[in-house]
Structure 1
Amino acid sequence: MGVKKESKKLKVAAPKPVEEEAVVMDEQADEGDQVDQDEAGEWGDNDRIEDTDMDAAEGEMDVDETDPNKLREEERQRASRQEQRQLLKERKTARPNGALVFQLKKLWETIRQKRITSELRAEKMAELMGLITGKIQEVTFRHDAARVIQSALKHGSSTQREIIAQELKGKYAVLACSQYGRFIVSKILNMCPKHRPLVLKEFQGQVRKLMRHRDASFVIEEAYSQFANAQQRNSLMEEFYGPEYALFKADKAKSLQAILTENPEKKQAIIKNIRETISSFLEKGAANIGPHTILHRLILDYLLLLPTPSATASKPTESAPAAPANPSAYMVDLLKDHLIHILHTREGSRVAQLILLHATPKDRKHILKSFKGLLGKIAREQHGHTVLLELCSCVDDTVLVSKTVLMELFTDANPGEAMRDPYASRVVLFLLVGRSRRYLINHVVDELEAMDGVRKLTSKKADDVRRKEIVATLSPVWLDLCTTFAGELLRSRSGGQVLVEILKHAEGDKTALIEAISSLTSGTIESHALVSSSASATPKKEVFNAAKKLATEAANVKLAQLALDSKENPDLPDMSAHVLVDRNSTFTLKEMISGGRVSAAAGSNKKDGQKAEEAPLDPSCGAVGIAVATVISKELEYWLRYCATSEAKTSGTTFVLLALFESRAAGVQDALVGSKKGRKKAFSKLVDELSKVAVVVPKEAEKEAADENAGGKRKRGGGKDLKKSAGARQSVIHIFLNKLKESF
């Protein structure tokens, strides 16, 4: 009796058995198969058990090998587990297509392996297709068989993929709602281009319903954002405008603007339907609309349809009616907690801008609070940084914006990176020079200008006043950062632009910054290389870390595959090259010394044959010119010889020298070549010597130009004669030496 009771207890405490093939399949997920981690654990009742649980159960039973009773008990338990495994196998086989799925999983274990020959994979795929052809719909909705179909789509031939896609025709909408079947639809969209229109056509009339489904919404989003063309996108969007657009599909789908142009009387009905759809997603407050760009566009369409709010508009009450008296304020209440999740897309960033415009000061503070800790990521995003531009354009509390929000960009772990990043730097440039199309993309400027009407009603301060207050607060921080990271900023394209504009428009003492810039131009190429090598010659001793080494090697391989080097990557400026040789730094130095380009207003007012009037030279640019000229003059002969004799990387260096020689600031030319009395004797002989060795026009290039001119072909100079073409091909150092000689 004691043995029977003990046996009964063991049966209760024993873990649930599992089929060995299923355990192996579940624990080794194919990297190519798209299965969420949360979903991978929901495989149904009594379908599997982790091997760790089995090992733990066996480990708890300490068996004394010298005790015969204990050995017999262990044998009984092992037999019980084998019996349970057999029962589970029989139970699974008894299910519909159970034996077929068992065979498919065995083939799948071979097909999914990465290190097998293509011939073996093709052989197993042919065997698998022979088993599932005609039965694909029957096995697809099973969680384990769905993985097999995914691998068949991934590793199969185009013909085999067509067979699978053809058999699933008519079931795509149902599959999209399946927890595991939705991945098959994604595979078909990715790997069967011919069937994409068919998949999208099956979604017609059900888009609004599918978008409310947890799994199907991701399939709709993938089809909309990655595979649909403009007309197909309009077809998907139409169904949110009203039931008639879902039931009666036109031959050619139209955009919302086209629909309203043809039927302006439907505007209010469309606005109502869109508002109800948005409210159903957002009123509960638990929906995550971040991944769904189709909803971002829908919200943007709704906000653009709203009338301009009045200056005295009031916020709606908590029990907002179906048609709120102030739709703008109603949308602010719905979206103010979701902006941080949607501003990474172009439509989402415009939604965030419009919400900031329509929000009250209290709501704006709430939105700024939600951005806290994420300002660095937002500023470095392609579309997210435009939200910060609007933030600086509409929020009247400049102290809050500058000290609480923007200050976060320049106090993080790497503060200099914000000024070197191609997107974050535009926020600084916007504050310094406003809506300059030289630094901002045209469509960004157009969008900011299009919202000026709303901005005048919702903000009190003028744009210039608001920007000047922010610049006054942040200028000390900017000047300190530019002085500390002057070398990195000079060698970065975006950082150089920020450096030039801060030098011209920032408020405060710029002496330290000017000295830092001029000190970088000291020395020669050899001395700079010696300093750079000595700085990196004695690295700190670190304990060997295998994982860290492998991660570093993988990162280097990735950079090599992307063909990125330190010069092309704005986050990694090349500090090994001298600033008078580096291409980005020479361009920046030339801009500083010359004072920048001719202003657009001056260039547009010039008459025929009259030179454009240059903007007044900023005193800081003149100070930089004098400081740089004073430093370079100590090694001027070296740099002239370098530019004259070296065939590589000389144009940028000579442009800096030429900008110093032609500077409008008084004293720069004298600081470079000395006073008029002493420079002739010192440089006449050197100029004559270097003029003979300076690179002019190679004979082969001159001969080629003569042949083209004789043959009547169009040349790069736009039909100029040979003499002018040859003169244009002279090296910059030759032009500089001629000007230097003429000034004696």
Structure 2
Amino acid sequence: MAGAGSDLQSPKKRKREHAEGKIKPRPQVKGGGDGAKRKKHPGAGGYAAHGGAGEAPAKKRPVTPKEKRLAAKEMSEARKMKRKRHYSLEKELAKLWEKMRCHDVSKEERSKLVSQAIRKMDGKYLDIAGSHVTARVLQTCVKWCSQSERDAIFDDLQPHLLTLSRKKYAVFLVKKLIELATKKQFASFISSLHGHVAKLLPHTIGAAVVDYAFQRATPPQKRQLLLELYSTELQLFKDLTVQSSFSLLETISKLGLQKSSVLQYMTIEIQKILEKGTVEYSIVHTAILEYFTIADKTSAMDVIHQLIPLLTQGASIIDGDEPSIATELPNKTKAKKKRLSEPLIVRIMQTREGLKLAISCLKHGSAKDRKKIIKSLKGQIMKLALNDFGCLFLISIISIVDDTKLVSKIVIQELAKHLKELIFDKNGRRPLLQLLHPLCSRYLSPADLACLSYNVPSLSAKEGEASEGATEVISENKVDAMTDKEPDDLEGMQIVSESKKDPSRRRHELLIKSDLAEALVQSCIENVGELLRSNFGKELLYEVAVGGKDNVLEGVTDRIHMLHDAIASDAAQPKTEDIEHAFENFFSSRVIRRMIIDCPAFAVTLWRKALKGKCKIWAEGHSSKVVAAFLESPSSEVRNLAKPELQPLIDTGILKVPDHKGAVEK
């Protein structure tokens, strides 16, 4: 065996000897059998080599890297031709798509390219929509084509829209068709969803289509989609779903449904959605909030306990993609990785329903749950603060959570780093104003106050068991009535929660102990001129200058006096053409007037620095409100300080004091 093995040569050695010219004959295999079968006829090789008619010439094997790449490409093309039915058409459409989607192409040229592509796809729309390449072409065509061409595509695909709604790539085409559909076509699509809403919502891709239609629907159409989640009867009988917008309790009463059976059915459907994790959609938020209105305490807590882990982890659904984990997506773009790391609780802050759902989890979750929610927001605080509804969620956090060390570390420190941006922003200033003046109707609308006071009925504190700061829960039905109330009637309202810490103590710890108050005053001093003349900034400047509600800024009184000096110095500047004077500017004149009336210390500083001996100059126009405010002040010291100089102006008719403000005794 050893001798036989030594005669055999490795392929590399034979190749090397062949290059050196040392060619050895191949060893003969002894015995007949297979060796005899492999032996060729002497004339056969010569005949084939000379191009005999009986056999095709041998194909040249690729040698160079370029030849190998070309051969691999040819093989891949051949396989695709066999595997894909419309492969040649896909290649043609891809070339047209590259031209029509360019930004610099003219409208006429794009219209021609779109019409050409539609003609090629005619009759094959269903097959085209399923491919990840051609689905994009068809989506672009739907976007830029004429209305008649779009109608033809919609009519052809209408029977298959529900099927396409479950497909990974076709879902974008369905969304585009919904977006550009006429009222009649959209109503037809809503009608086709009947009986399928409950099945599509647990689907990771189909849920996105249902929610997209829900957002564009009218209130009756939204109700029609929601009703299928309430009862089997409403899912089977379409006529029952055609009704005006009613709440769940009103629907149960009107249709004579059994509350227990509705609760049981909704529990099953919501559990399916929670198990699949498709909870980022507004239709799901609305359904869960409706469920809370009839759910008992145990059922409501079960849903909240299942929601919190889903809301605090990264979103798994990306525009219809299948669920995935960030660590398993090395080839995904940075933008998608960022969205995956973003907690779902941040993404749902686009609607009022999403905000209410998040507030429910925060209010009724345990201390451990609240800690988990706040930790998930690390790095997302500024995004929330600048959002219409996200800023309200931050207000809930700083008004409810007793762990002020955790809130200071994650929320307050992040806000303190971007104070200049926040104090001038409509939404960004609201968490700061909440600390300075909680739940002030001047800064929060009745609808905002209703959201902040939202409570799950079965979980709300009973009378006599409420915490020290808790009062009656405000329902949505009371929002309209609240708008008729005076601001002072809303000041005593508190956010209902399970908090145990005194609200004033919580505010003091978040403002003073965290050093936020000092940074806030310093930021106001540095930007005093801009804040005075800013529509949004002036409110924050006022609250800081007066020390906040209940004098919460008492610990930084010296710094506040420096702010008074800065405001008075700005007002003491002479008139220039470059910038409007503080007494004459629409915003600054009004906020200075409020400071004079509400803060005697500021009024005295302003009088001595900017107005003493100059009142006649400012007795007309917007500035007259500032001058007259000294006589409207409740402080006798302020009135006595200004009266000797202002009384002659009143007697001569130069200065007029408003009668409704209760002018002081002359």
Say yes or no: does 1:461 pair with 2:453. no
Deviation at 1:149, TM superposition (A): 0.8
Q: CA RMSD in A?
A: 4.0
Is 2:381–2:415's contact at 8 Å kept on the other side of the alignment?
no
Amino acid at match of 1:337: P
Is 1:410–1:416's contact at 8 Å kept on the other side of the alignment?
no
* Equivalent residue runs for 1:526-565 within 5 Å: none
Q: What is aligned with 1:275?
A: 267
| Distance of 2:456 and 2:271 partners within structure 1 | 28
Deviation at 1:184, TM superposition (A): 1.1
| Distance of 1:452 and 1:299 partners within structure 2 | 11
Is 2:618–2:624's contact at 8 Å kept on the other side of the alignment?
no
Q: What secondary structure is seen at the aligned counterpart in 2 of 1:205?
A: coil
**Matching residue within 264, 277, 290 for 1:301:** 290
Is 2:572–2:610's contact at 8 Å kept on the other side of the alignment?
no
Q: What is aligned with 1:96?
A: 85
**Matching residue within 342, 346, 350 for 2:356:** 350
| Distance of 1:166 and 1:419 partners within structure 2 | 53
Q: What is aligned with 2:560?
A: 513
Q: What is aligned with 1:657?
A: 627
Deviation at 1:210, TM superposition (A): 1.9
**Matching residue within 211, 236, 245 for 2:234:** 245
- In structure 2, the CA distance between the partners of 1:108 and 1:352, relative to structure 1 (3 Å rule), is closer
Q: What is aligned with 1:155?
A: 144
- In structure 2, the CA distance between the partners of 1:178 and 1:104, relative to structure 1 (3 Å rule), is same
Write the deviation string for residues 21-65 of structure 1: whole angstroms up to 9, x where unpaired.
xxxxxxxxxxxxxxxxxxxxxxxxxxxxxxxxxxxxxxxxxxxxx
Is 2:202–2:278's contact at 8 Å kept on the other side of the alignment?
no
Q: What is aligned with 2:540?
A: 498
Is 2:204–2:278's contact at 8 Å kept on the other side of the alignment?
no
Deviation at 1:178, TM superposition (A): 1.5
- In structure 2, the CA distance between the partners of 1:521 and 1:580, relative to structure 1 (3 Å rule), is farther
Q: What is aligned with 1:483?
A: 521
Is 2:249–2:293's contact at 8 Å kept on the other side of the alignment?
no
- In structure 2, the CA distance between the partners of 1:126 and 1:471, relative to structure 1 (3 Å rule), is closer
Q: What is aligned with 1:196?
A: 186
Is 1:336–1:367's contact at 8 Å kept on the other side of the alignment?
yes
Deviation at 1:382, TM superposition (A): 1.9
* Equivalent residue runs for 1:365-380 within 5 Å: 365-380=371-386
Deviation at 1:189, TM superposition (A): 1.1
- In structure 2, the CA distance between the partners of 1:424 and 1:127, relative to structure 1 (3 Å rule), is closer
| Distance of 1:452 and 1:102 partners within structure 2 | 56
**Matching residue within 600, 608, 628 for 1:630:** 608
Is 1:521–1:578's contact at 8 Å kept on the other side of the alignment?
no
Is 1:630–1:671's contact at 8 Å kept on the other side of the alignment?
no
| Distance of 1:159 and 1:278 partners within structure 2 | 41
| Distance of 1:306 and 1:375 partners within structure 2 | 32
* Equivalent residue runs for 1:250-265 within 5 Å: 250=239, 252-254=241-243, 255=246, 256-263=248-255, 265=257
Write the deviation string for residues 489-520 of structure 1: whole angstroms up to 9, x where unpaired.
43444443334344252231534313322333
Say yes or no: does 1:586 pair with 2:574. no
Write the deviation string for residues 631-681 of structure 1: whole angstroms up to 9, x where unpaired.
1136726xx54776xxxxx42x332122134433234356558669xx97x
**Matching residue within 410, 413, 423 for 2:427:** 423
* Equivalent residue runs for 1:705-716 within 5 Å: none
- In structure 2, the CA distance between the partners of 1:304 and 1:529, relative to structure 1 (3 Å rule), is farther
Is 1:629–1:669's contact at 8 Å kept on the other side of the alignment?
no
Deviation at 1:300, TM superposition (A): 1.2
Q: What secondary structure is seen at the aligned counterpart in 1 of 2:239?
A: coil
**Matching residue within 208, 213, 228 for 1:218:** 208
| Distance of 1:387 and 1:735 partners within structure 2 | 45
- In structure 2, the CA distance between the partners of 1:184 and 1:501, relative to structure 1 (3 Å rule), is same
Q: What is aligned with 2:447?
A: 443
Q: What is aligned with 1:167?
A: 156
Q: What secondary structure is seen at the aligned counterpart in 2 of 1:456?
A: coil
User: How many positions carry a matched residue from both structures?
Assistant: 527
* Equivalent residue runs for 1:290-369 within 5 Å: 290=280, 292-307=281-296, 309=297, 326-339=298-311, 341-342=344-345, 344=349, 345-369=351-375
Deviation at 1:187, TM superposition (A): 1.3
Q: What is aligned with 2:327?
A: none
| Distance of 1:428 and 1:87 partners within structure 2 | 66
Say yes or no: does 1:408 pair with 2:378. no
Q: What secondary structure is seen at the aligned counterpart in 2 of 1:143?
A: coil
Write the deviation string for residues 376-426 of structure 1: whole angstroms up to 9, x where unpaired.
43343322333344445555x364576456633643x22344444433444
**Matching residue within 195, 201, 209 for 1:205:** 195
| Distance of 2:608 and 2:445 partners within structure 1 | 38
Write the deviation string for residues 413-454 of structure 1: whole angstroms up to 9, x where unpaired.
223444444334444444555444333211233455564975
Q: What secondary structure is seen at the aligned counterpart in 2 of 1:522?
A: helix
- In structure 2, the CA distance between the partners of 1:459 and 1:361, relative to structure 1 (3 Å rule), is farther
Contiguous gaps of at least 5 residues in structure 2: 1-10, 17-59, 313-343, 471-493, 495-500, 659-664
| Distance of 2:373 and 2:387 partners within structure 1 | 18
**Matching residue within 367, 388, 392 for 1:386:** 392
Amino acid at match of 1:218: A
* Equivalent residue runs for 1:666-705 within 5 Å: 666-668=636-638, 671=641
Deviation at 1:364, TM superposition (A): 3.4
- In structure 2, the CA distance between the partners of 1:515 and 1:452, relative to structure 1 (3 Å rule), is farther
Deviation at 1:75, TM superposition (A): 7.6
Is 1:389–1:427's contact at 8 Å kept on the other side of the alignment?
yes
Q: Name the TM-score, length of structure 1 as normaliser.
A: 0.62
Q: What secondary structure is seen at the aligned counterpart in 2 of 1:473?
A: helix
Deviation at 1:523, TM superposition (A): 5.9
Amino acid at match of 1:262: K
| Distance of 1:452 and 1:103 partners within structure 2 | 57
Deviation at 1:2, TM superposition (A): 8.0
Q: Identical aligned pairs, as a percentage?
A: 22
- In structure 2, the CA distance between the partners of 1:631 and 1:669, relative to structure 1 (3 Å rule), is farther
Deviation at 1:460, TM superposition (A): 3.0
Is 1:300–1:348's contact at 8 Å kept on the other side of the alignment?
no
Q: What is aligned with 1:266?
A: 258
- In structure 2, the CA distance between the partners of 1:460 and 1:735, relative to structure 1 (3 Å rule), is closer
Write the deviation string for residues 546-592 of structure 1: whole angstroms up to 9, x where unpaired.
xxxxxxxxxxxxxxxxxxxxxxxxxxxxxx65533443222211111
Is 1:177–1:215's contact at 8 Å kept on the other side of the alignment?
yes
- In structure 2, the CA distance between the partners of 1:432 and 1:129, relative to structure 1 (3 Å rule), is closer
Contiguous gaps of at least 5 residues in structure 1: 7-71, 310-325, 534-575, 596-620, 645-649, 692-732, 738-742
